[in-house]
């Protein structure tokens, strides 16, 4: 529990410091909201299929007021034979302060995400869990259209009660010149996750793994089409997170189409 208090205090102190740096005046901020509906050929979370390699529908709704944000996101699920998981609903909230640094405006993100699985029979191990998130993004001062960033996620008790888990991600996106009616962009993620095998993380198979993706997004008005390649360094023979029959962590191409409002 002392470890939880230490990490929570670290996240909180950093958030308070950046709130002061941002100097945002709430009186001048405006309330906004957004929603989206997505159809995807596979729901891949941190390199691992959550729908048994099958398509699903996803939706979200979010609210913003100045640097503050909150919302929810939902997706269909299929964890394979023996599981009655059919739905994931995530709730999130946080702040996104900014800092005008010598190399450009840095956007920070400090938040919490609560992952829930309504209707799932836990069979003695709670699937619902939460993570604290901290990260930043920065437009490149040297390459126009390039934005990079890094994010850290920490859970004191990861899904199915396997103890403390850390996840880090490095992200990059690059805006390409307009093509006909489309605004194309390239983006990618390199992620790493670690836990303790002794606590049951990854079913005791490995105490860490890497995942990555790269793809192109074509946006036109309130529509976007995403073509993405996913892979991990896990193998089916490892079992654990990967699975032994459905090869849920193998390389794959995923196509998604999203409509958003307003």
- Output the pLDDT for position 239: 58
Q: How far apart are CA 226 and CA 74, in angstroms?
A: 18
Closest among 243, 242, 224 to 233, alpha carbons compared: 242
174: left (phi over 0), alpha (psi -120 to 50) or beta: beta
Number of neighbouring beta carbons within 10 Å of residue 38: 19
Work out the pLDDT band at 18, boundaries 50, 70, 90: very low
Is-above-0.85 flag for pTM?
yes
pLDDT at 150 over 50: yes
- Output the pLDDT for position 237: 59
230-252 pLDDT, tens digit per residue, is 999 987 655 567 765 456 888 99
- Output the pLDDT for position 9: 45
Which tokens hold the place of 190? 């390199």
188 within 8 A of 212, measured Cβ to Cβ: yes
Longest dimension (CA), the chain: 57
pLDDT at 34 over 70: yes
pLDDT at 2 over 50: no
Q: How far apart are CA 234 and CA 238, in angstroms?
A: 7
Q: How far apart are CA 133 and CA 183, in angstroms?
A: 29
42 within 8 A of 52, measured Cβ to Cβ: no
Q: pLDDT higher for 126 or 244?
A: 126
Bond into 262 cis (ω within 30): yes
Percent of the chain at pLDDT exceeding 70:
85
Mean pLDDT computed over 138-144: 95
Number of neighbouring beta carbons within 10 Å of residue 127: 19
Which tokens hold the place of 119? 């209707």
**Which of the residue ranges 70-84, 102-116, 165-179, 183-197 would you say has the lowest mean pLDDT?**
70-84
- Output the pLDDT for position 28: 54
Output DSSP code: residue 73: E
Domain spans, the chain: 2-261
Enumerate long-range contacts of 6-13, CB under 8 Å, 24 or more apart. Answer: 7/132, 7/154, 7/156, 8/132, 11/110, 11/132, 11/134
Work out the pLDDT band at 15, boundaries 50, 70, 90: very low
Out of 2.40.390.10, 3.40.1000.10, 2.40.230.20, 3.30.70.1350, the CATH code matching 2-261 is 2.40.230.20
Work out the pLDDT band at 254, boundaries 50, 70, 90: very high
* Element at 10 (helix H, strand E): helix 2-22
59 within 8 A of 38, measured Cβ to Cβ: yes
């Amino acid at each position: 529990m002392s470890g939880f208090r230490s990490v929570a205090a670290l996240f909180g102190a950093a958030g308070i410091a950046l709130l002061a740096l941002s100097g945002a005046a709430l009186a001048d901020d405006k309330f906004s909201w957004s929603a989206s509906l997505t159809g995807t050929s596979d729901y891949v979370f941190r390199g691992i299929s959550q729908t048994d390699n099958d398509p699903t529908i996803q939706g979200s709704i979010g609210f913003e007021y100045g640097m503050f944000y909150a919302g929810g996101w939902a997706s269909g699920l299929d964890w394979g034979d023996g599981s009655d998981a059919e739905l994931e609903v995530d709730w999130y909230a946080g702040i996104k302060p900014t800092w005008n640094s010598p190399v450009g405006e840095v956007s920070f993100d400090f938040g919490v995400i609560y992952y829930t699985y309504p209707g799932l029979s836990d069979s003695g191990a709670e699937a619902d869990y939460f993570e604290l998130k901290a990260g930043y993004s920065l437009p490149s001062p040297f390459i126009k259209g390039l934005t990079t960033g890094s994010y850290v996620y920490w859970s004191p008790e990861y899904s199915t009660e396997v103890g403390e888990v850390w996840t880090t991600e490095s992200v990059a996106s690059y805006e390409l010149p307009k093509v006909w009616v489309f605004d194309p962009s390239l983006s990618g993620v390199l992620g790493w996750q670690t836990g303790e095998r002794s606590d049951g993380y990854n079913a005791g198979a490995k105490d860490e793994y890497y995942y990555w993706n790269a793809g192109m997004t074509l946006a036109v008005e309130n529509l976007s089409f995403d073509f993405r390649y996913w892979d991990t360094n896990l193998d089916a023979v490892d079992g654990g997170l990967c699975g032994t029959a459905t090869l849920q962590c193998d390389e794959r191409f995923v196509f998604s189409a999203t409509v958003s409002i307003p």
